[in-house]
Amino acid sequence: MERCHGHSPTQEYPHPFVHEVKVTTAQKIRGIILGSVLFPVRVTLATLFFLIMWPIARLRLAGLSEEERAKPVEGWRHWLFHHVILFLSRAVFFSVGFLWIKVKGRRAGLTEAPVLAVAPHSGFLDMLVLCPAGLATVVSRSENTKLPVIGALLEFNQSVLVNRKDPESRKKCVAQIKERLTSEGYWPQMLMFPEGTTTNGRALIKFKPGAFLAGVPVQPVLLHYPNKLDTVRWTWKGTTWVQSLWHTTSQFYTNVTVEFLPVYTPSEEEKENPELYADNVQKLMAKALGVPATDYVMEGRYPVNKLGGLSLPLESPARETLKKLNNNGLSTAQVETVINSMIDSCQSSQGTMVTADHLTTLLGLSNRETAKEISALYSKDDKVDLRQICLSVSAVSGLRSLESLLHTAFTLYDSDSDGVLSAEDLSDLMGALIGVPQYNTAEMYAELTTRGQPSEAALKELLTTHPTYSRVISEYLQSEEEGLKTETLSTANGKTQNRTEHGISNGTSNGKPNGSANGIFNGRSIGESNGIFNGRSIGESNGISNGVSKMAD
């Protein structure tokens, strides 16, 4: 099997977490006319089929002991209920407009490929892939078992369940997946979406290693939606799930193609390294789709690009904060005054955690809603850490020099006031500078300690000289004004070269793509956030046919 190589360092990658259904006036009028008739009819039919499935799905394991439920269903319980649920699942998708499902290639048998890796993951309607996949077993959040219908279908499917907030549950999930995938045909085939969240399909994001942990062959499966209107995608920002369902059901029909690629058999090196295995399958599938394979991931609530263990947000909370402050009439001088006052507050005994009401006063805003919106950029709770706002805004606004910024950050996060950083201090400090939590700074801390004690001077040296971490400054920790100073100079032979104020290369490190090549850190906010559906983040496919949600790695 061919091992694919990365894309050119100069490749510009599209933002994969934003999607808007773009319709002309004529299409909008047509959609309203058809939708007013088709939407209620199709949703009613799909709901009816779901309600029929509910008790039938429960019957499959009815009367079995816990020990028997821990084994794959066999005999009459398998062939009778399996075919009934498969038929009803297909009826659900037929009802919402998928009148046919085109299949390319051959689905591999269980012994050939114990796991199917499906991409790109576009939205909850992707669950239709389970029909040509024969209702393969899936991985889901344990919380989904409490949902009406969905819980019954997960029980029917004998899904692997995981509570992502519980480390023990995650370990148990990994062990259970390995056990099933190496059972040599005892357990049914598994189906996973290795991206772990939904995207707009214009790039493949970094695959999570869950489908590749067991080191067994996988069959890559591609999902294509070749329609004039791209209606099925439901991402971090943009079209909501309701709009997606409306647009999809308002069409006479929606085309979909499920393409089964040849089975990918891992090398010995890939068996030992699931991350490498996942990366190579990602590149293979990206090449087949004609899109770039990127290092973008959804980490918590933020879409980020990975850089040496650090997570750089595709849309900077600090730049969005600046935009909101400017829209509320605060000039650059006023922002500087406010930030300096907040830093003084952090350095005093007043504490760093504040509510939206307190933040409204500190920022000198006329309305509380703006403060709430700013707070929500940094925290899920009703309180936000002032240090994150102060340092991240200072980092991208040019209010302080790099030396002054690092000194302030070091002072605020040197928890023992002993002039050196602990590993936790560094994680918190980098999270505040970048504006999003940093969970994997062990590599950076190890590099910092090789330079002696992790002091302020050592941190500055690391961020200005290290080939990887210097990119944090050149590509992220610079102001809008400094960004404009990054010129593209025409040369005599017609080629271009990039120059930054810091004189640091914007190339790649260790073959990783330049995550900001397309200017995604330009402070513009694309689309409106629609990230909640029943309290769940966008990209967690609760699934029309099985309630799959993304698996944590």
Least confident piece of the model among 57-61, 342-346, 443-447: 342-346
Report the DSSP beta bridge partners of residue 222. 119, 259
In terms of domains, do 36 and 129 share one?
yes
**Which pLDDT does position 2 carry in this prediction?**
38
In terms of domains, do 331 and 248 share one?
no
In terms of domains, do 332 and 446 share one?
yes
In terms of domains, do 269 and 396 share one?
no
Q: Are 173 and 160 in contact (CB under 8 A)?
A: yes
pLDDT tens by residue, 145-172:
888 899 999 999 999 998 877 888 888 9
Residue 124 to residue 542: CA distance in whole angstroms: 6
- Indicate whether 527 belongs to any domain: no
- Indicate whether 34 belongs to any domain: yes
pLDDT tens by residue, 444-500:
999 999 988 899 999 999 999 998 888 888 777 764 444 333 333 333 334 333 333
In terms of domains, do 228 and 338 share one?
no
Residue 431 to residue 317: CA distance in whole angstroms: 12
Domain endpoint, select from 476, 499, 517: 476
Give the total number of structural domains in the chain: 2
- Indicate whether 531 belongs to any domain: no
In terms of domains, do 184 and 237 share one?
yes
- Indicate whether 303 belongs to any domain: no
**Which pLDDT does position 13 carry in this prediction?**
62
Q: Are 230 and 19 in contact (CB under 8 A)?
A: yes
State which residues form the domain around 194. 18-294
- Indicate whether 467 belongs to any domain: yes
pTM: 0.76
In terms of domains, do 66 and 212 share one?
yes
**End-to-end Cα, the chain, rounded Å:** 25
Position 350 confidence tier, pLDDT thresholds 50, 70, 90: low
In terms of domains, do 181 and 277 share one?
yes
Angle at 540 between CA 67 and CA 303, to 5 degrees: 135
In terms of domains, do 259 and 287 share one?
yes
Domain endpoint, select from 476, 499, 524: 476
In terms of domains, do 167 and 98 share one?
yes
Token output for 410? 């070091």
In terms of domains, do 118 and 25 share one?
yes
Check pLDDT > 60 for residue 196.
Answer: yes
Token output for 29? 């009028």
- Indicate whether 160 belongs to any domain: yes
Domain endpoint, select from 476, 496, 516: 476
- Indicate whether 503 belongs to any domain: no
pLDDT tens by residue, 306-332:
888 888 888 889 989 989 998 888 888
- Indicate whether 304 belongs to any domain: no
Angle between helix 241-249 and 25-59 (nearest 10): 100
In terms of domains, do 277 and 417 share one?
no
* Cβ within 8 Å of residue 56, ≥6 positions away: 81, 84, 85, 88
Least confident piece of the model among 101-105, 134-138, 500-504: 500-504
